[in-house]
Amino acid sequence: MKKNIDDVGFVRQLIDKLENRLRIDPDRIFATGISNGGILCHLLAAHLPGKIAAIAPIVGAVGGKKDKREYYLMPPSPASPVAVIAFNGRLDQHMPYKGGIQEKYAGKAPVYVTSAWTMHKFWTKANGCADKPERKTHPLKQHMVVSFGEGCRGSEVVQYLIFDQGHAWPGSKNPRRFGDTPSKHVSANDIMWEFFSTHPRKQ
């Protein structure tokens, strides 16, 4: 943001070049990333709904702001549905599940981030989903899945809340820098791939 770099424009051009040079399926282009990379997923899906079929943001908020007095900076509502499966840790202090100011941060100062529920509301509204979700808690109380599928115009919005994890990639073997210990009870890789495989781009 400081250097006004167009990340969305870069990814758009990258996809165009890959489509021209390689035999990729334009209906099965997906995005995932952790923390700031998760935030980028939301931006890509909002700005490039005609290219991105589905996203899987890992511990990344949909919006944020530097000061409490400011309005949250949010992506635009996409012109067409994008399927979303998000992963958040209840113990996350970098991207608090309930939103608000960061308790831990990698920058010079903490910022305010939106809650997981705000993420639900943004994408369910954008995709036209019904407001009432389905909630399933794991039998061993390890995680909860909140899913919106009814009325989503062929898309879906799913949220994994992982009870024993903070700021980490669920199921990874090692903690990342500035991150927390990953949960061993949920494999984000396996779950997101299953989700992606059943959510090609909607025409």
Q: Tell me, what's the pLDDT at 138?
A: 86
Residue 186's φ and ψ, nearest 5 degrees, are -135, 130
How many Å apart are CA 82 and CA 3, to the nearest integer?
A: 29
Task: Dig out the tokens for 117 from the structure.
Answer: 């529920």
The low-confidence residues of the chain, meaning pLDDT below 70, are 203
Q: Tell me, what's the pLDDT at 149?
A: 86
Q: Tell me, what's the pLDDT at 141?
A: 80
Report pLDDT digits (tens) over 160-173: 999 999 999 999 98
Q: Tell me, what's the pLDDT at 58?
A: 97
Q: What is the pTM of this model?
A: 0.94
- Residue 54: strand pairing partners: 30, 83
Residue 59's φ and ψ, nearest 5 degrees, are 40, 50
Task: Dig out the tokens for 130 from the structure.
Answer: 């019904």
Q: What is the third-level CATH fold of 28-197? A: Rossmann fold (3.40.50)
Of 132, 153, 143, 138, the closest CA to residue 199 belongs to 153
As a whole number of Å, the end-to-end CA separation of the chain is 32
Q: Tell me, what's the pLDDT at 107?
A: 84
Task: Dig out the tokens for 45 from the structure.
Answer: 């899906």
CA 54 to chain CA centroid, Å, is 10
